[in-house]
Amino acid sequence: MAARCWTKCLSRSAASLGLKTARALAALRVGGRMQARVEKWRKKCNEGRLTASERAEYEAYIQASTLIGILQAKARRILSQSCLMDARLRQLVRRRANNCCEYCALRQEQEPLPFHIEHVTPRQHGGKDSAENLALACHHCNLHKGTNLSGLDPKTEKLTRLFHPRLDDWTSISQIAAARLSVCPRLAERL
């Protein structure tokens, strides 16, 4: 029961683990001295000879190891899904987008903050670190889109799929204007 609760609580946090942190978590091991101590507690517990302080320490260890085990499982999942977004892949995405946000067409030179390499279909929805699933996004569009794949259309109030830079095509300035208003309101004033 407690493990399910921890898993649920940690799901969102674990999804944001970076590769370096995920590798460190996956490699985390208990030292030999601690293993011997835990084995001693386990034997004493089975024999009913744990003192109150040993029981408290043993239970704390079990809770901590459950938490670490859940984090390690999530870290291994992240590592198995990732093909490591290397510098060449990042450069390909930037070059393909011509240093423009693929959602609102804002040029990197017009924005002081660096653009993000964004997952069109987020990892939590099965998206991969492949060139086809990555897009260059200004921080406004990336933070506004988040992990969403759809949203409520403000005019029709119907659930609508969000713009997909690999599937959809901006064919008129009115589409760009509408997208800037709905995806990134702050950019609408730059039209």
What pLDDT does 10 receive? 58
Among the candidates 81, 107, 129, a domain finishes at: 81
By the 10 Å C-beta count (0-12 exposed, 13-18 middle, 19+ buried), 108 is classed as: middle
Question: Structurally, how many domains does the chain consist of?
Answer: 2
The domain of 116 spans 87-190
Name the more confident of 135 and 181.
135
Name the more confident of 65 and 85.
65
Among the candidates 53, 81, 109, a domain finishes at: 81
Query: Do 134 and 75 have their domain in common?
Result: no
Q: What angle do CA 179, 188, 176 make, to 5 degrees?
A: 35
Query: Do 35 and 112 have their domain in common?
Result: no
Tell me the pLDDT tens digit for each residue of 154-178: 888 889 888 888 888 766 544 555 5
Kindly report the pTM of this predicted structure: 0.50
Query: Do 100 and 150 have their domain in common?
Result: yes
Mean pLDDT, to the nearest integer, of 89-110? 91
Among the candidates 35, 56, 81, a domain finishes at: 81
Name the more confident of 178 and 72.
72
Residue 186 pLDDT > 80, yes or no? no
Mean pLDDT, to the nearest integer, of 87-109? 91
